[in-house]
Amino acid sequence: MEKSLFKTENLFLIFCLFWGIVFLIINPPLQAPDEAGHFFKMWGYTQGTLRHTIKDGWSGIEIPKSIERIYSFYSQHVYSDKKIPLIETVKFSKVKLEKDNKVFIKFGATSYTPLSYFPSFIVLWIMKFLNVKPLCMMYILRFCSLLVYLALTYCAIRVVPCKKWMFLFAALLPINVYQASAISTDGITFGFVFLFAAYTLKLAFDDNISRIEKKHLIIWDVLITCISILKFAYFPMVLLYFLIPENKFNRTKTYYTNFAAVVLFNIFVIAFFLLGVMSAKGLTEYAYENKLLSSFEMIKKIISAPFDYVVLVIKSTFFLKEFFYFNIISSIGGNLVMIPPFASHLTWFLIFLSIFYKNKTEKIINLTLKNKGVILIILILCHFLIMTSVYLIYQTTPYIVGIQGRYLTPLLPLFLLLFNFKKVFIQNKAIACALCIMSHFLLLMSFIIIMVYYY
């Protein structure tokens, strides 16, 4: 019993469940980044629409007036340091749904598929049917997001044959737990990215898998397709396929044809999705008084001067480097508050230390220079796509802004693998204890920051 309790994946489950519940309770409603937006998008799905409606030239949806009241109150606090008295939340918790009393709210058409909100939007549909109070809905949806993140990341840590503590520490970073315990797509997206990376490492380095079978390929293919649907910017992770040794396949032809088939299928899925998103009229066209170019025109602009655009991405990356350094670890209240610098510095030290820790049951892996080259290419391509997707939306110059550090957080395990060396590892259990203590310290610090910031 004791041995099972202290398995890495079980420790993650206990720690993340505890702190996730703490965060979803103490964090006032709709305060996590884009939390209101995600709630409205799910509400649109329960009404059977992916596009929302256009009224007086504005895209939006009809929602109960009771929800609009709650949104109007809490939205003014997202990007300000105003306090949110607990008594106000208690008052709003008594507000009934009254779903027939509707009001139109301006809101951009969704750029996510139902998978991004699975199973939350189904739970929301059931709650609507049962006339659950709006605030109660929001807290239940937060719990759904947390459970999905718990399940996916638990599986990731369990299946990965190496670097379990690296995955544990990365998954317990405050930004991950905070976003997973909010109404967001981040929990499911981060969970799938962790699981895909872990499963690929299993196929590549697990001695118990001497041959890649059809079931392995099906699971791998489904995982990368889910990632493409959730957030296409992480699709370059498909190149992790080349970490799997070719000799684990029956034939060389199978090795390459499977990869080609997966790539072509996912390119089709992504293209179909992007064409639908780019052709949809959204709120931003009107909010910016039609000053923005269409996505198609922006893509033409990038293609016409590719070198200039690459320079723009590099300049923007260096401009935002300090923000990325802190924001990859934590963010509270619309990205306005992060943990103190000294805690961030210590966290980064332990993040790098986690790559060298190995328990007695873990396999020592040897990543070749070719493997690390593949990982580096993946990181560069993912970063480039993330920056591009933000640039198409906000079109800012002379730097691309609007990108959040948390977009890079799920790529952290891959980044750390670049520093893996076969003969360099530490087996001292004090490292595991330090990682556990630091995780709790960071999460406790985030808890205190939330309390001071909001109450």
Quick: pLDDT tens for 221-234. 999 999 999 999 99
Q: What is the pLDDT of residue 236?
A: 96
Q: What is the pLDDT of residue 41?
A: 87
User: What is the enclosing helix (H) or strand (E) of 267?
Assistant: helix 252-278
The mean pLDDT value for 355-368 works out to: 83
Quick: pLDDT tens for 258-310. 999 999 999 998 888 777 665 555 544 444 445 667 777 888 889 998 999 99
Cα torsion angle, 68, 69, 70, 72, sign: positive
Percent of the chain with pLDDT over 70: 92
Quick: pLDDT tens for 189-242. 999 999 999 999 999 999 889 899 999 999 999 999 999 999 999 999 999 999
Report which of residues 454 and 195 the model is more confident about: 195
In order of 87, 133, 134, 182, 438, the CA distances from 94 in angstroms are: 11, 7, 9, 21, 38
Quick: pLDDT tens for 105-134. 877 656 788 888 989 989 999 999 999 999
In order of 67, 228, 359, 421, the CA distances from 425 in angstroms are: 53, 34, 10, 8
**3-state secondary structure labels for all residues of 14-47:** HHHHHHHHHHHHHCCCCCCCCHHHHHHHHHHHHC
Q: What is the pLDDT of residue 108?
A: 65
CA 264-371-320 angle, 5° bins: 80
Report which of residues 301 and 141 the model is more confident about: 141
Q: Mean pLDDT across the chain, nearest whole number?
A: 87
Q: What is the pLDDT of residue 155?
A: 97
Quick: pLDDT tens for 84-102. 888 888 888 898 988 888 8
Q: What is the pLDDT of residue 122?
A: 92
pTM of the predicted structure, to 2 decimals = 0.92
Does the structure show a pLDDT above 60 at 1? no
Q: What is the pLDDT of residue 454?
A: 86
Report which of residues 112 and 434 the model is more confident about: 434
- Residue 430 pLDDT class (50, 70, 90 cuts): confident
- Residue 2 pLDDT class (50, 70, 90 cuts): very low
Quick: pLDDT tens for 67-79. 999 998 988 877 7
Q: What is the pLDDT of residue 279?
A: 57
